[in-house]
Structure 1
């Protein structure tokens, strides 16, 4: 195709992505599966789209998308949240990772594709999408929820684990068999991680001085250049371009220019990231889905079961209830960009070709089911709590009756003065509305009866 046809094709694909994205928003779908579906429609394997378009035509743009996705993830890394409660978060996040990765590796071994493939499958099925988690928390207005600080903290631990995991996977996929070259490459990888995290932790002021410029154009060129530069360094030393971009994002996020970078980086990430997911969809062949559909089904069931168990465990560890545990499970069930990154690495490493359709179908399905489950988790939790209270009503005791009587006395005292103009009285009046004496179906007074 000539340049005009290339531009025409890209324009049509992006407009189609917009239209499908608007429709997806109506049922709460994130953009990731939408872009993949558009790529799938335009794939030369499908024949469903009237234009012939190949993955190689936008490969470099897709690489920029991958770099900016991981760069933005590093930029949002909350050091204070992690180092302020590192011990508890490491236990919580470590438990979550151990459960999900362990089960994912066991499942990968059961496929019979090989040990390296099992390690990749463990990462695909065992790690949540930080991008989707953050987006859903904002869109569903759950930032103020009781469980949200715990979720964000565990997500931070997951981000650190992803950096370490990718460093290990890159060495495993390199094909080296002699022990000392492997040890050397792992040592370089971990040294790179330690140095970059150390700079982020203690070198924020120095980085801020280096970033100082009032020119927005030059500022944008600088941080984008640094992201591409460190992605190249990561690729050369064997920790992948994704981790190089993530680590420089962590460093720049520690500077005083984090907010300014985000204002420019997020729109760039959204545009280039769309090309990354579109490019992955272009490489998918629907005809290959049949060979992995059974395994994908098992992986989906396993993901939901493990997420429910992990959510309940995390809620219990942080002294939270069933509803918070269900919300936690629903948010962590989401899978997305990291699974596709691993699939891309597996293809370049020459692993079992079934990994790519497995990752594509798994992410397509999970990126639809995950947000739908998350959007309805509070309703499900409320219904479960009501049934639980109905099945196990609280036992009446003199102490609880006395506490309830004190509550009623306080409310009546407040409501008696609610028109006094005192702001504190008005606030308490709004918080504790005037109790109305009424009877339930059994004829019992609500104010002195079962107050579960």
Structure 2
């Protein structure tokens, strides 16, 4: 008798998976098409598609295997964060400056507090309140960028402040995700636990970033000629997943690992190409993630919590607007730009979903929180374009209604905040010493930890194994020990302080502290591999070698540092978010435009175009291929492909854009780094007093142009060249950075 065993067909196993994916993508595609037509954020389309395909809507085909969808959604989060890292770049964070940092930090602190209080007043659990505060503190980059594109305000001054604040918000969101994970696991608000998590985060971020920048750009550079697009895509995803595994193994969110790898690759020369290759993958899994968010929307739950949804919507709209406006004012921005910035940031979006998902995966938040947040996000996404439009009218209304003293105080604070801030010599020295100590200590501790974990077990039990392991570790770590202990830093400032006898003591203490710290690390290494007695003898031998060959150690460290800096600076940021707009307290700022090949103004001189006379703007420079023409003369002609950088108010830039659009011209999203800057100079040089602007030869001395004068509280934009200069005048000059600096000193 034959027994026939029939295995389940492959088709029957795959059928639910394939049908679910097909349903999700088909529904998402239709929703995206419709939302594109009605000019609404695509994220909302995905959410509605998820709601239709979920188990909470009975009049539509339903996803069967929700577990698989959850896995795809987690992969979607990884690729979303990886793509965010690719767009991020640590250089960009440095360049956003204090304005965006103060705005974002103030807004997040106030909103986390406000959200926690709101949750408490509604009777929610503490963990729900904490997650709620973090969730409603992060604005939506996707929704804001879309609104700016549709409203055509990306060239206005406040838009740069908003983009900068969003960059800082994203970084703080990553940090808060790590801290929330710690709180969720410990289930208590322990200050020591949070402090330990913060130190752990700083340690691993430094190790990963330094190691990543040192090796990954080199790998991509030397394999560039071998890598096809397919291989580059696979390699990029592989690097991303390796960092995801590393982050997960040390107790961090996998999303953090994806973000870190993205930010490392963002510093390479192939970052833009990789970003282009990864975009379809990100879009696919990102769509699945947002659809999965929509599947969690339960109309019954939302209806039961209609009052919390309404309350939180008002908290987000008004709280985000007010807190961001306060932060922008504190950073030194004028009232108008501050209000416009605040009104633009009045929504929550993709990061809020990710944080809410984190709470659910950790099983520390209530079931109602997720659909409530999705509902609030959907409502605030709809209101965002209207809030952006209301920014200017609201600012003008406040200027009229607020007490005159307040408005004047804000203007004075804004003007003073733009003044050059002096940094004391001691501040420079302390900053340099702290960076040197912390940075190199982290690297040394990381090398010791890796050696103890991977090298020591390999030699355990052999006769000279410990000596070999200790020697290898010391050789690897020696350049960093030298830099920590003996490298000269802030040489000019230290010499200046050392000339003062009263300042010598603290300087000597700092120098000896670095040396003692270096000795401590050497002793720590040797103690890990030897008994205390042998370690002491080895320490003396190591110190002898250490002081006999300082030049060789310096040379090795210099090679390592040069390689790192070379990799870090390989890719200069091609597109900046107009972070130069915050160089003046006036409404005037820089914006760039590209001359189209078929433009009607091609071939005409600046004198013929009369842009200054007709519109009021000044041209700071013309970039023509590799050539930059700083402060061009009136006889300069415009050619196809030229990039012009202009200075003007929001109204003037908008007027210029409209004028140029009629002549087939297109505006880029950002401005590249240049030696031309906009700077204010207080007129103290007696040789200028009583002379006209033309007679003063400021243009010749700075290769620049006087675009504004402030005199006794009155402001004159684009002053006549025959205007006589007076004592106390504040000149706003666009010109060469170095020449302006020398003129200011003179």
TM-score normalised by structure 2 residue count: 0.49
Per the alignment, residue 148 of structure 1 pairs with 159
1:248 matched residue in structure 2: 261
Bigger CA radius of gyration? 2
Kindly indicate whether the alpha-carbon contact (under 8 Å) linking 1:93 and 1:154 is maintained by their aligned counterparts in 2. Answer: yes
Match of 2:93 among 63, 82, 92: 82
Q: Does 1:21 align with 2:32?
A: yes
Q: Distance in 2 between matches of 1:430 and 1:68?
A: 48
1:163 alignment partner, one of 153, 174, 198: 174
Native 8 Å contact 1:336 1:363 kept in 2: yes
Pairs within 5 Å for 1:39-54: 39-54=50-65
Is the deviation greater in 230-239 or in 82-91? 82-91
Aligned: 1:118 with 2:132: no
* 1:129 and 1:335 in contact (8 A); partners too: yes
- Of Structure 1 and Structure 2, the greater strand share is in 2
Alignment match of 2:68 (pick from 38, 54, 57): 57
Q: CA deviation at 1:246?
A: 1.0
8 Å CA contact 1:167, 1:238 repeated in 2: no
Report the Cα distance in structure 2 between the residues aligned to 1:286 and 1:173, rounded to whole angstroms: 28
Moved more, 335-344 or 314-323: 314-323
Matches of 2:189 and 2:393, distance apart in 1: 57
Does structure 1 residue 362 correspond to structure 2 residue 372?
no
Distance 1:121 1:254, change over 3 A: same
| Contact 2:105/2:327 (<8 A) preserved | no
Q: Which residue does 2:112 correspond to in 1?
A: 101
Aligned: 1:226 with 2:252? no
Given the alignment, which residue of 275, 280, 295 partners 1:282? 295
Alpha carbons 2:316, 2:347 under 8 Å: kept: no
Determine the structure 1 residue equivalent to 2:41: 30
How many angstroms does 1:327 deviate by?
3.3
Query: Following the alignment from structure 1 to structure 2, what is the Cα–Cα distance between the partners of residues 163 and 250?
Result: 13
The equivalent of 1:431 in structure 2 is 615
2 CA distance for matches of 1:181 and 1:37? Answer: 40
In 2, Cα distance between equivalents of 1:144 and 1:178: 44
Q: Which residue of 2 aligns with 1:296?
A: 309
The alpha-carbon distance between structure 1 residues 97 and 383, as it changes in their structure 2 partners (threshold 3 A), is closer
* From 118, 123, 127, the counterpart of 2:138: 127
Matched residue count: 402
1:336 matches 2:349: yes
2:78 to 63, 67, 73: 67
Structure 1 pair 141–233 and aligned structure 2 pair: CA distance change class (3 A): farther
- The runs of 5 or more residues in structure 2 that have no matched partner are 1-11, 405-603, 618-746
> For 2:203, which of 191, 208, 232 is the aligned residue?
191
Q: Distance in 2 between matches of 1:325 and 1:187?
A: 34
User: Root-mean-square deviation (CA), in Å?
Assistant: 3.2
Distance 2:219 2:180 in 1: 30
2:526 corresponds to: none
Report deviation, 1:334: 2.6
> Does the CA-based 8 Å contact 2:100-2:165 persist in structure 1?
yes
After superposition, the Cα gap between the structure-2 partners of 1:34 and 1:76, relative to the gap in structure 1 and judged at 3 Å, is: same
In 1, the alpha carbon distance for the partners of 2:104 and 2:206 equals 20
Residue 661 of structure 2 corresponds to: none
Q: Structure 1 266/365 Cα, relative in aligned 2: closer, same or farther at 3 Å? A: same
| Matched residue, 1:442 | none
Mean CA deviation greater in 116-125 or 310-319: 310-319
- Write the distance in 1 (CA, Å) between the matches of 2:166 and 2:397: 31
**Whole-angstrom CA distance in 1 between matches of 2:395 and 2:188:** 54
Q: Does 1:273 align with 2:286?
A: yes
Report the CA distance shift for 1:47/1:325 in structure 2 as closer, same or farther (over 3 A). same
Q: Would the aligned equivalents of 1:74 and 1:246 in 2 still touch at CA under 8 Å?
A: yes
Equivalent in 259, 262, 279 of residue 275 of structure 2: 262
Which residue of 2 is the match for residue 439 of structure 1?
A: none
Given the superposition, is the C-alpha separation of residues 181 and 144 from structure 1 closer, same or farther in structure 2, using an over 3 Å criterion?
A: closer
CA distance in 1, matches of 2:362, 2:116: 19
Change (3 A) 1:135 1:225: farther
Q: CA-to-partner distance for each residue in 1:298-329, whole Å, 9 max, x for gaps?
A: 11101111222134334534655555334322
Q: Does the 8 Å contact 2:178/2:197 carry over to 1?
A: no
Contact persistence 1:78–1:156 (CA under 8 A)? no
Aligned-partner Cα distance in 2 for 1:203–1:430 = 54
Q: Given the alignment of the two structures, is residue 347 of structure 1 paired with residue 360 of structure 2, yes or no?
A: yes
Deviation larger for 330-339 or 257-266: 330-339
Contact conserved, 1:164 with 1:190, CA < 8 A, in 2? no
Shift, 1:24, TM fit = 1.7
Q: Is the contact made by 1:227 and 1:248 (CA closer than 8 Å) also made in structure 2?
A: yes
Q: Secondary structure at the match of 1:126?
A: coil
1:59-84, CA deviations, whole angstroms, 9 ceiling, x for partnerless residues?
A: 22212211011111111114334323
User: Is 1:101–1:127's contact at 8 Å kept on the other side of the alignment?
Assistant: no
Which residue of structure 1 lines up, in the alignment, with residue 318 of structure 2? 305
Whole-Å Cα distance in 2 between the matches of residues 319 and 177 of structure 1?
38
Q: Within 2, Cα distance between the matches of 1:391 and 1:348?
A: 48
Partner residue in 2 for 1:214 = 227
* CA 1:110–1:17: 2 relative to 1, 3 Å: same
